[in-house]
Amino acid sequence: MDVLVALLRSCRLSKPDEDLGPCFMDTLPYNPLLNPLIIAKVFAYSGQKDLINYRLVCKSWNGFATSLLQSNSYATVRQESDLTRLLRLTKHSSNYFPITRFYIKPTPKRESKQEHSSDI
């Protein structure tokens, strides 16, 4: 169990190399990270994994991260066996993340097959 916890901790996206000071926010007239324009600018550089995480911080972060995720997220179904996953996704589709688009892509061909088809 302890090993598992340790593993989970080490699996963070990146290791913070320093401690964020505890009280540097106290002197500010208001919290910049609650200003919509500033949140939008900061989140614009965030990856999907971080945005998913930011949804849990507070309501206003949730709102911004959710709308960014909604505009960028998609799931790809590549094989017939993936249909079960598609079913699972649609089952979990919620008001926040409704399934709105499907992309149908062909299964990528293997190298040898491509050579074969080019011979013909």
Kindly list the residues in this chain that would bind other proteins in the complex (CB under 8 A). 12-16, 20-22, 24-35, 37-38, 40-47, 49-50, 52-59, 61-62, 69, 73, 75-76, 88-89, 92, 94, 96-97
Q: For residues 16 and 106, which CB has a smaller minimum distance to other proteins in the complex?
A: 16
Q: For residues 31 and 79, which CB has a smaller minimum distance to other proteins in the complex?
A: 31
Q: For residues 88 and 116, which CB has a smaller minimum distance to other proteins in the complex?
A: 88
Least distance to other proteins from the beta carbon of 90, Å?
11
Q: How far apart, in whole angstroms, are the C-alpha atoms of residue 85 and residue 88?
A: 5
Least distance to other proteins from the beta carbon of 106, Å?
19
DSSP states along 41-52: HHHTT--HHHHH
Tell me, what amino acid is at 107? T
What separation, in Å, do the N-terminal and C-terminal C-alpha atoms of the chain show?
A: 58
Q: How far apart, in whole angstroms, are the C-alpha atoms of residue 27 and residue 24?
A: 7
Least distance to other proteins from the beta carbon of 112, Å?
29
Under a CB-based contact definition with an 8 Å cutoff, are residues 43 and 68 in contact?
A: yes
